[in-house]
């Protein structure tokens, strides 16, 4: 077996600020951990131009009918699965539109699957099983920047002509060489040496938040700063939906609730009905013409 050289990876280096971690009081350790976490947002800020490019490509993929597919191993894979799952209730999209793949499959969400991340073929096979096509956007996530599962998947995606991007937490990452739109964020050594679920995981989560949220904005899933395609799948979300209608239209609770029901609990449709004094069918036609953008349906610009 070839030796893996981790010496050059920032994520594997010891943090001089926490060399006496096991001697700190709980208060001291909490304060130090918080100080280290504060470095993450600044590290992500430096990568915003690269993140912008990935968001632009994701929007373009969605507009072609493509999907956003995250893939990774361990914490990186779990974060991709989490972000994909959250898109369904937040933006009212199908589970097939944003997909999270993790090396080792569903079992790996809670326990490590031995050897899965070291396979160059498993990532490819997962994409084959998804029937990957050239309209899709594939984002490989790896804190180390060297995960074979991710590299094998990216190579296959490139062969098919899909758009590829990566999120690594080391500079000059190996996975960056296998994607058209790499993101490399350097948060410095981890609070606990090599524990990339900490600062690296936080950085990945922040970046994934940007990619999914702003891509959804780009395809009309947001009006002003309101999530107008939210799915009312529980009592809290039913009330949130009514509140969103009230905020968007300045209607009172009773009016918003009535429009919500008349629109078959479609928040976006209810808003257009109220703001344009339209029937349900008329509002549906306006939204269809506007490709789902509320402001356009109201006679404004995207």
To the query of whether residue 235 is one of the catalytic residues in this protein, the response is no
Identify the active-site residue in 23, 47, 96, 117. 117
Which two structure tokens, joined as six digits, stand for 18?
């926490």
Partnered with residue 182 across adjacent β-strands are 166
Q: How far is CA 227 from the centre of its chain?
A: 16
Identify the active-site residue in 86, 184, 261, 262. 86
**Alpha helices by DSSP H, 22-144:** 26-45, 48-63, 74-91, 122-129
State the Cα–Cα distance between residues 117 and 135, nearest whole angstrom: 26
Q: Is 61 exposed, middle or buried (0-12, 13-18, 19+ CB in 10 A)?
A: buried
To the query of whether residue 86 is one of the catalytic residues in this protein, the response is yes
Residues 268/223, Cβ–Cβ less than 8 Å: yes
Unique residue bearing structure tokens 């509002």: 283
Which two structure tokens, joined as six digits, stand for 13?
């280096």
State the Cα–Cα distance between residues 158 and 141, nearest whole angstrom: 16
Residues 163/138, Cβ–Cβ less than 8 Å: yes
State the Cα–Cα distance between residues 246 and 251, nearest whole angstrom: 5
Unique residue bearing structure tokens 């891509």: 215
How far are the Cα atoms of 70, 89, 98, 205 from residue 84, in angstroms, in the given order? 8, 10, 5, 12
Residue length of the chain: 302
Q: Which residues are catalytic?
A: 86, 117
């Amino acid at each position: 077996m070839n030796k893996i050289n981790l010496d050059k990876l920032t994520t594997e280096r010891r943090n001089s600020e926490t060399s006496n971690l096991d001697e700190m009081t709980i208060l001291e350790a909490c304060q130090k951990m918080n100080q280290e976490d504060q470095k993450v947002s600044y590290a992500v800020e430096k990568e915003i131009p690269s993140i912008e490019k990935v968001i632009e490509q994701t929007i373009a993929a969605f507009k072609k009918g493509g999907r956003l597919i995250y893939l990774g191993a361990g914490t990186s894979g779990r974060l991709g699965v989490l972000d994909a799952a959250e898109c369904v209730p937040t933006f009212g999209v199908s589970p097939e539109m944003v997909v999270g793949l993790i090396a080792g499959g569903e079992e790996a969400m809670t326990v490590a699957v031995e050897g899965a991340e070291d396979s160059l073929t498993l990532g490819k096979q997962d994409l084959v099983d998804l029937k990957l096509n050239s309209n899709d956007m594939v984002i490989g996530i790896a804190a180390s920047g060297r995960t074979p599962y991710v590299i094998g998947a990216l190579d296959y995606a490139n062969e098919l002509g899909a758009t590829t991007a990566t999120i690594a937490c080391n500079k000059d990452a190996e996975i960056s060489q296998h994607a058209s739109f790499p993101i490399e964020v350097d948060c410095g050594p981890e609070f606990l040496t090599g524990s990339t679920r900490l600062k690296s995981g936080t950085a990945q989560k922040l970046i994934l938040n940007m990619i999914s949220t702003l891509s959804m904005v780009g395809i009309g899933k947001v009006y002003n700063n309101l999530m107008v395609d939210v799915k009312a799948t529980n009592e809290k979300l039913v009330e949130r939906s009514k509140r969103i209608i009230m905020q968007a239209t300045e209607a009172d609770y009773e009016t918003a609730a009535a429009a919500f029901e008349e629109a078959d609990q479609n928040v976006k449709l209810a808003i257009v009905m109220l703001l344009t004094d339209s029937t349900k069918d008329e509002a549906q036609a306006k939204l269809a013409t506007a490709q789902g953008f509320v402001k356009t349906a109201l006679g404004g610009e995207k």
